[in-house]
Amino acid sequence: MIFEGTPIAGAFRIQPQRLADDRGFFARVFCIEEFRQHGLRTEVCQSSVSYNVAAGTVRGMHWQAAPHGECKLVRCIRGIVWDVILDVRPASVSYRRWWSIELSEDNGTMLYVPEGVAHGFLTLAPFSEVEYVMSDPYIADAARGIRWDDPGFGIEWPEAPVVISERDRSYPNHRP
């Protein structure tokens, strides 16, 4: 795997190295030793899938508050998504900065999202499916969110969303 830092402290773009032949390819998507070498958490306690019927579906921006912060390893296993992370950790050197990347079944790219960083995505193709592997369990009382279009952060999305949950639509804008 190739690990590449991002402008968000502690977040990594991870590219599996595909070994291809006539059958297709084989690639590792997790190796405890390689993750540890990059200072990343290796606990896995939950794995989830987000299936999205329509292109233009937005999910986010979500994170869990301390002490229930969770790291996420995110990859698109079907379709294409515009994946966004936003640093909401006040003590971080990248506080209030956002960064985005296209994840797709074709490019196989993964994103490691450290705890305390908000995450969301916009589907760019119908029937997109996103897989999450998390370091900590979901705790409803620790769930937090910021509006995907909060003008205080200025996240640039490639398209206007078509489908947004009531929960995501109802988050207030952040007040610094």
pLDDT in tens, 81-112: 999 999 999 999 999 999 999 999 999 999 99
In the chain, what's the furthest Cα-to-Cα distance?
Answer: 54
In angstroms, the CA 160 to CA 175 distance is 23
Confidence (pTM): 0.93
Domain positions in the chain: 2-170
* Size of the chain in residues: 176
Evaluate if residue 165 carries a pLDDT over 70: yes
The mean of the pLDDT values for the chain is: 95
pLDDT tier for residue 116 given thresholds of 50, 70 and 90: very high
pLDDT tier for residue 69 given thresholds of 50, 70 and 90: very high
Residue 134, amino acid: M
Q: Which residues are catalytic?
A: 62, 132
* DSSP H or E segment with residue 3: strand 2-5
Fold of 2-170: Jelly Rolls (2.60.120)
Evaluate if residue 176 carries a pLDDT over 60: no
Evaluate if residue 76 carries a pLDDT over 90: yes
pLDDT (0 to 100) of residue 175: 64
Tokens of residue 171, six digits: 């988050």
Alpha-carbon torsion 97, 165, 74, 100, what sign?
negative
